């Protein structure tokens, strides 16, 4: 072989040999992050929870709580009627994976950090307490919707057959966790700063959120666990969310990918398969409720609700108002109106305050709802005989239940849950419904039957059947 050829071959061999040692490095993406801090995990989990409560997509690939706006009969499907007629499947993957798992990773990352001083130690405690409040918020909604759920063995990637824990036991434990988290918060210290997408790092505001959540949980379990429920209400009766400025909300941004999922579906996706439902629109029409102009569009100047669960022509009925076509419309976790309605109930039950104070809280709640949506006329609305607390039809559950149901528009999960608990307003299943009552529970995801069959079967048997008609432990009436 010619000397030059040999030299060339040797050079190629050497070059290949050198390159081969670095082939793995060539496959490395140096632009993507390989690790995240606890604040980043927390922010992602918070936004994911907000998305879960706002999205319109339902079914096996959608969020479990999306369909609740249909179950509350605030909205109806005008084209694809499966959801409105209760032919529905549910997935909880985005709650366990996107919310709870990221909260878990946030906690692990923060615990592993060593505070450098006392201020850092306070900040760390505040961060961990806030993570706990969000954990309780997410898990409570799973229990309130499904019943027994994976809890003690959840989030372990090495256990793909997690057992389901008893719903009452889980809820009781969540209450204890929430109480401890509130106690651990120090309003004088920092927390997540700008990574806190709800309160911007204000630990004092999280104390109010935590107490408001405890008040809500106390009244949700009070019929089944009266002593514990009353204890929760009494403990949480002060330092609550006290104005719309203190609402627990996530305000979305103007640009993708951080816009409200409603905007993505309605404005960008131009979805025209949802219309305003007659049960809500008709009540608001009867009461001449000024909030209609925010909640709905008009048809020839009128607010027109579609017969629930029936196929209809989109253009003949009202649908989501213009507010919900804006990218930054907030997702509400708990608001001031909800807190005041809860205090009105607590007063009627004789737990906190007197029955005479129930009217004050009821009025405050309605005024708060009007104020939040920028609507005037609350005083005139409250003077109507059909709205005024002393003259509105029915006992306190009916008065509070009806007005709360209206105020919880675009909070579909909350509206459905309070309907189940208070049993007002009286809603009827559609004529072609899969079941003949409004669902009182969500079905377990179909994937659980195939991937975690033994645990699913045990849980189904324990709660009385994996059915939408199976009442959960807290829903005793």
pLDDT in tens, 351-367: 998 888 999 999 999 99
Contact between 348 and 358 under an 8 Å Cβ cutoff? The reply is: yes
Contact between 472 and 167 under an 8 Å Cβ cutoff? The reply is: yes
For 116, other C-beta atoms within 10 Å of its C-beta total 8
Contact between 87 and 151 under an 8 Å Cβ cutoff? The reply is: no
Specify if 339 maps to a domain.
yes
Classify residue 438 as left (phi > 0), alpha (psi -120 to 50) or beta. beta
Classify residue 253 as left (phi > 0), alpha (psi -120 to 50) or beta. beta
pLDDT, position 27: 56
Specify if 218 maps to a domain.
yes
Specify if 264 maps to a domain.
no
> What span, in angstroms and rounded, lies between the C-alpha atoms of 51 and 208?
22
Specify if 473 maps to a domain.
no
pLDDT, position 440: 98
- Closest Cα to residue 138, out of 64, 205, 226? 64
pLDDT, position 167: 98
Helix, strand and coil percent figures for the chain, each rounded to 5: 50, 5, 45
Specify if 412 maps to a domain.
yes
Q: What is the pLDDT of residues 303-345, one digit of tens each?
A: 999 999 999 999 999 999 999 999 999 999 999 999 999 999 9
Q: How many domains does the chain have?
A: 1
Return the CATH number at 117: 1.25.40.390
> What span, in angstroms and rounded, lies between the C-alpha atoms of 458 and 325?
43
Output 378-383 pairs: Cβ under 8 A, ≥24 positions apart.
381/287, 381/288, 381/289, 381/290
pLDDT, position 17: 45
The residues, ordered by sequence, that sit 6+ positions from 353 with a Cβ below 8 Å of its Cβ are: 343, 346, 347, 361
Backbone angles phi, psi at 395, to 5 degrees: -80, -175
**Structure letter (DSSP) for residue 298:** -
pLDDT, position 11: 44
Specify if 140 maps to a domain.
yes
What does the longest C-alpha to C-alpha distance in the chain come to?
109
pLDDT, position 256: 87
382 by DSSP, 3-state: which? helix
> What span, in angstroms and rounded, lies between the C-alpha atoms of 50 and 253?
13
The domain in which residue 334 lies consists of 38-256+329-463
Specify if 252 maps to a domain.
yes
Residues of the chain with pLDDT under 50: 1-20, 30-34
Specify if 146 maps to a domain.
yes
For 227, other C-beta atoms within 10 Å of its C-beta total 8
- Closest Cα to residue 316, out of 282, 270, 272? 272
Q: Determine the angle formed by the axes of helices 101-111 and 118-146, rounding to 10 degrees.
A: 160
Give the position of tokens 């109806």.
76
């Amino acid at each position: 072989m010619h000397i030059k050829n040999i030299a060339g071959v040797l050079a190629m061999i050497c070059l290949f040999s050198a390159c081969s040692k670095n082939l793995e490095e060539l496959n490395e993406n140096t632009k993507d992050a390989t690790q995240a801090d606890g604040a980043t995990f927390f922010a992602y989990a918070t936004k994911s929870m907000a998305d879960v409560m706002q999205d319109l997509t339902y079914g096996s690939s959608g969020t479990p709580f999306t369909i609740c706006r249909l179950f509350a009969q605030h909205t109806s499907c005008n084209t694809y009627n499966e959801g409105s007629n209760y032919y529905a499947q549910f997935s909880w993957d985005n709650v366990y994976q996107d919310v709870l798992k990221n909260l878990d990773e946030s906690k692990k990352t923060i615990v592993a950090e060593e505070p450098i001083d006392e201020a850092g130690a306070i900040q760390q405690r505040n961060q961990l307490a806030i993570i706990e409040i969000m954990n309780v918020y997410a898990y409570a909604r799973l229990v309130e919707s499904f019943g027994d759920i994976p809890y003690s063995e959840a989030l372990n990637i090495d256990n793909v057959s997690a057992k389901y824990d008893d719903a009452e036991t889980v809820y009781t434990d969540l209450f204890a966790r929430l109480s401890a988290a509130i106690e651990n918060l120090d309003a004088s210290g920092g927390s997540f700063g700008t990574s806190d997408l709800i309160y911007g790092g204000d630990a004092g505001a999280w104390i109010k959120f935590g107490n408001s959540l405890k008040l809500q949980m106390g009244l949700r379990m009070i019929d089944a666990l009266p002593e514990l429920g009353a204890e929760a209400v009494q403990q949480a009766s002060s330092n609550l969310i006290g104005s719309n400025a203190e609402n627990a909300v996530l305000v979305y941004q103007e640009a993708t990918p951080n816009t409200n999922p409603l905007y993505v579906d309605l404005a960008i996706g131009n979805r025209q398969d949802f219309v305003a439902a007659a049960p809500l629109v008709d009540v608001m029409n009867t009461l001449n409720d000024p909030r209609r102009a925010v909640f709905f569009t008009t048809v020839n100047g009128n607010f027109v609700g579609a017969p629930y669960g029936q196929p209809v022509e989109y253009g003949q009925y009202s649908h989501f108002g213009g507010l919900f076509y804006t990218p930054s419309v907030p997702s509400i976790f708990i608001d001031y109106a909800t807190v005041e309605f809860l205090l009105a109930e607590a007063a009627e039950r004789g737990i906190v305050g007197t029955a005479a104070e129930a009217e004050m809280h009821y009025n405050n709640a309605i005024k708060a709802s009007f104020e939040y949506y920028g609507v005037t006329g609350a005083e005139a609305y409250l003077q109507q005989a059909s709205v005024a607390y002393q003259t509105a039809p029915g006992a306190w559950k009916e008065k509070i239940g009806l007005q709360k149901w209206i105020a919880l528009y675009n909070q579909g999960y909350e509206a459905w849950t309070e309907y189940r608990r208070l049993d007002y307003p009286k809603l009827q299943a559609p004529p072609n419904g899969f079941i003949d009552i409004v669902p009182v529970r969500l079905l377990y995801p179909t994937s659980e039957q195939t991937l975690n069959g033994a645990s699913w079967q045990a849980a189904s048997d324990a709660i009385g059947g994996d059915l939408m008609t199976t009442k959960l432990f807290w829903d005793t009436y």
